[in-house]
């Protein structure tokens, strides 16, 4: 008996859920060449416009000259370079925590942290809309796994009442498909009442939220006691690659000893860490990027509302337009592309059934004219499509 892969693929095509990879032929930028077409892009997580910043690129080149191109081995063998170590120290200082630990990807950071902290006999409780990497890690940890209603402290409270062993409450900081913020003060207070730890994946908050760009924990004025485990990724607002976990001395030493994705993975190229030191400096020093981004968000939300589009409750650069029907979302995406605008249609299973959307993401590299062009293209595309049957 063989695997029937063709029918699985055909089923996905018929449901308008088939995924394809756009081919980028230019550096990461709001002005991109994709599949041979020059487009104004609104689908990158490069929120601060640092992925192709000349100073970051120069730091990468300098890093290659100084450290070579590869990590060579895991951090625990001989792959932990001075570049990695300096970045860990800088990230610890940035987050206001004693230590930080570099990981090769956000997926691995979440997998490593959760599986190292909880196991059989313990409990892990997660927001229903958490990123897939968090959910997968909870399932693979061997701990009792449950999901509470989105951003609902009362739902969390009910599940905490049934928890056993060490209990870890896990939430995104900014929810990647909706763009809304975790209600961390309520979540942390509820967890503390039950002697549970809180872990936050702030992949989409770092660089965008907080007075210095230090993310959602800074935004709410919380600290290490509130959120003992803080995860961030470097491939979004930082503009490079990799991830980190920040916390206490004991947490980081525990992860070094027990986090299998850290122990058994070759370190990221040291040049990437060296470049990230420069992007971290720009992120902290150039607050105008966050200020400009805030103005673009306000401009887009006002314009989209005027067009009658259904926005979601997001104060962040992630500005989804809720469409509902997957085929309709694909049609809108295709119509925008014909007008020189690149926005990805996000469909199930990435989002719940009936909530297909255009996930608009804004960057400090965009201009106000770019936002005006996007709004005009949305208006034209909507007018060109037939009304939906209800």
Residue positions annotated with a catalytic role:
176, 204, 236
**C-beta separation of 121 from 163 below 8 A:** no
* Residue 144, φ and ψ in degrees, nearest 5: -65, 125
Residues 6+ apart with CB under 8 A from 131: 110, 172, 176, 201, 203
Q: Burial, 57: exposed, middle or buried (Cβ in 10 Å; 0-12, 13-18, 19+)?
A: middle
Which of left, alpha, beta for 167 (phi over 0: left; psi -120 to 50: alpha)? beta
Say how far apart CA 56 and CA 272 lie, in whole Å: 9
**C-beta separation of 45 from 207 below 8 A:** no
**How would you classify the pairing of strands 167-172 and 197-201?**
parallel
Alpha carbon 327 to chain centroid, angstroms: 26
């Amino acid at each position: 008996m063989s695997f029937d892969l063709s029918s699985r693929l055909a089923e996905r095509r018929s449901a308008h859920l088939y995924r394809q990879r756009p081919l980028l032929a230019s550096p990461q930028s709001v002005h991109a060449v994709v599949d041979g077409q020059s487009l104004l892009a609104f689908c990158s997580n490069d929120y601060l416009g640092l992925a192709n910043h000349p100073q970051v690129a120069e730091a990468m080149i300098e890093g290659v000259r100084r450290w070579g191109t590869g990590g060579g081995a895991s951090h625990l063998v001989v792959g932990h370079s001075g570049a990695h170590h300096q970045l860990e120290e800088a990230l610890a200082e940035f987050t206001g925590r004693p230590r930080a630990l570099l990981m090769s990807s956000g997926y691995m950071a979440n997998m490593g942290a959760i599986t190292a902290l909880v196991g059989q006999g313990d409990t892990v409780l997660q927001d229903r809309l958490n990123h897939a990497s968090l959910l997968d890690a909870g399932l693979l940890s061997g701990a009792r796994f449950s999901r509470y209603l989105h951003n609902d402290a009362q739902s969390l409270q009910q599940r905490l009442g049934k928890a056993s062993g060490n209990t870890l409450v896990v939430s995104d900081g900014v929810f990647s498909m909706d763009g809304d913020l975790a209600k961390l003060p309520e979540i942390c207070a509820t967890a503390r009442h039950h002697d549970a730890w809180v872990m936050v994946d702030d992949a989409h908050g770092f660089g965008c939220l907080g007075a210095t760009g230090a993310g959602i924990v800074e935004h709410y004025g919380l600290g290490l006691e509130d959120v003992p485990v803080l995860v961030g990724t470097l491939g979004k607002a930082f503009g490079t690659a990799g991830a980190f976990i920040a916390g206490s001395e004991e947490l980081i030493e525990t992860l070094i000893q027990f986090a299998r994705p850290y122990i058994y993975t070759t370190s990221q190229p040291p040049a990437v860490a060296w470049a990230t030191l420069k992007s971290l400096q720009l992120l902290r020093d150039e607050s105008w990027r966050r200020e400009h981004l805030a103005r673009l968000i306000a401009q887009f939300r006002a314009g989209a509302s005027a067009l009658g589009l259904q926005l979601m409750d997001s104060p962040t650069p992630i500005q989804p337009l809720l469409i509902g029907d997957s085929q309709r979302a694909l049609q809108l995406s295709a119509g925008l592309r014909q007008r020189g605008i690149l926005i990805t249609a996000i469909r199930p299973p990435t989002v719940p059934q009936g909530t297909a959307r255009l996930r608009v993401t804004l960057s400090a590299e965009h201009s106000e004219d770019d936002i005006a062009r996007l709004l005009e293209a949305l208006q034209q595309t909507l007018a060109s499509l037939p009304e939906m049957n209800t």
